[in-house]
Each structure stands twice: as C-alpha cells, then as structure tokens.
Structure 1
Amino acid sequence: MTYQALTMLAAGIGIPVLAALNARLGANVGAPAAAAVVLFAIALAVAGVAVAITGPAAILRVAGQPWHLFLAGVLIAFYVLSVTYIAPSFGVGNAVFFVLLGQILSAAAIDHFGLFGARAVPLSPLRAGGLIVMAAGLAVTQLAGRG
C-alpha cells in the first residue's frame, strides 16, 4: 500500500472518530454549533502550523482563486454541523454510513465527469458494480442494526 492510500485510510478512520468526539462535545455543552466552532478553531490552528511549515507564501495566492472553490468551506461546515447535531440521536454509525453513501455517489460522479479539475475516471460496468456492492454493504449494516 502506498503512503497516499495509508494517509487516506487514516483520514477515513478519523471521520467517525471526529463525528463521535464532536457530537459528544456538542451534547456535553448543550450546543452543537459551539462544539463546531471549537473544532474549527483547533483545525484552523493546526492548518496554520502546516502552512507555516510547508510554504506560507502560498496563502497569498488564495485571494485570486475562483469564488466557487471556497464552497468547500461551506461543505465542511455543513458536514461538521450536521453530524454534530444528528449523531447523538441517530447514532454515529448511522450518520457515518449515510455520509459514506453520499461520498460513494459523489466521488463516482466527480471521477466520471472529471468535475472540479479532477482526473476523469470513467464509470465502467465493473466500477459501477463495485459501487453497488459498497452501497449494498452499507444497506446491510443498516438492516442488521435494526435487528
């Protein structure tokens, strides 16, 4: 496995951990939005250190970028706020499983059409079958959780 694959595996492991931790923080303080603000403040500090280490001059080029690229910030805020509000009552597993289904569908569309400058990877029948198997696996986890 390459370091890229291992890094993405670690990031994937982190998503449900993030959801569980922030949902608990939101429940503990009685304000999921406050928990999200704390999460983003810490994330900003960590990202700031990474920029300082890897190349602070790049931050100056951000201002000239197309406005639609900044929608990623809206999407991450939506994810964090929604999982922080919903996971305590819906369950972290349920929340993350549906997030995974959304990721599978959107990743397939982004790859197939080469959206947002991504490398185009056509949706072959074999790849579509793999996506269906993954979605079916998520469905099975949902059905098994009801038993």
Structure 2
Amino acid sequence: MTHHALIMFAAGVGIPILAALNARLGANIGGPAAAALVLFTVALVVAGAATALTGPAALARVVGQPWHLFGAGLLIAFYVLSVTWIAPAFGVGNAVFFVLLGQLVSAALIDQFGLFGAKAVVLSPMRVLGLATMAVGLALTQLAGR
C-alpha cells in the first residue's frame, strides 16, 4: 500500500470511531447538536493549526471560489449531525453500513462522470462487479451480527 492508501485507510478507521464517540457525547450531555458543535470546534482548532503550519496564504484565495465548493461544509455538518442523532438508537454499525453504501454509490458516480473536477474513471463491468461485491460484503457483515 502507498502512504496515500494508508492515510485513507486510517481515515476510514476513524469514521466509525467518530460516530461512536460523538453519539456517546451527545447522549451523555443530552444534546446531539451541542456534541456536533463541540466536534466542529475541536476540528476548527486542529484545521487552524494545520493551516498555520502549512501556509495560511491559501485562505486569501478562498474569496472568489465557486459557491458550490462550500457545500462540503454542509455535507460534513449533515453527516455529523445525522450520525450523532441516529447512531445511539440505530447502532453505530448500522449507521456506518448505510454511510458506506452511500459512499460507494456516490464515489462511483463522481468517478464515472468526473464530477467536481475529479479524475474520470470509467464504471466498467468489472468495477461494477467490484462495487457490488463490496456492497454484498457490507450486507453480510450486518446480517452476521444479528
């Protein structure tokens, strides 16, 4: 595996941990939205430190960027709020299972059409088979846990 793959693997490991931790924080304090606010505050501090270390000049170029690029903030807020509210009742595994299914579909469409400036990768029959196999594997992990 390349270092890129290892970093993304670690990010993937972190998503269910994020879901479990923030769902527990929301349940403990009785406010899922407040837990999400705490998460984003910590994330803001970390991102601010990383920006200060890697070159804050990039912030000046934010002005004038296409408005749709800021939709990523809405999407991460939706993810964090929804998983913080839903995971305690639905289960972290169930929540992440459906997140992963959504990611498979969305990633395939983004790649197929080169959306948002992404590198276009043809959705070949072999790739469809691979994605279907991953989806079946996700489903089996859920069924095995019942």
Which residue identity lines up with residue 57 of structure 2 in the other structure? A
Q: Which residue of 1 aligns with 2:115?
A: 115
Matched, 1:22 2:22: yes
- Gaps in structure 1 of 5+ consecutive residues: none
Q: Which residue of 2 aligns with 1:52?
A: 52
Q: Distance in 2 between matches of 1:101 and 1:40?
A: 25
Please show how residues 3-82 of structure 1 align to structure 2 within 5 Å: 3-82=3-82
Q: Distance in 2 between matches of 1:80 and 1:111?
A: 24
C-alpha contact (below 8 Å) 2:93/2:142 kept by paired residues:
no
Q: Which residue of 2 aligns with 1:142?
A: 142
Runs of 4+ in 1 over 3 A off after TM superposition: none
Which residue identity lines up with residue 52 of structure 1 in the other structure? A
- Gaps in structure 2 of 5+ consecutive residues: none
What TM-score, normalized to structure 2?
A: 0.98
Supply the RMSD in Å over aligned alpha carbons. 0.6
Matched, 1:83 2:108: no
What TM-score, normalized to structure 1?
A: 0.98
Alpha-carbon offset, residue 110 of structure 1:
0.2
Q: Deviations over 1:11-30 (max 9, x none)?
A: 00000000000000000000
Alpha-carbon offset, residue 145 of structure 1:
2.6
Q: Distance in 1 between matches of 2:74 and 2:47?
A: 17
Which residue identity lines up with residue 116 of structure 1 in the other structure? F
Q: Distance in 2 between matches of 1:38 and 1:26?
A: 10
Identical positions, percent: 76
Count the aligned residue pairs: 146
Q: Distance in 1 between matches of 2:19 and 2:62?
A: 29
Q: Distance in 2 between matches of 1:95 and 1:119?
A: 29
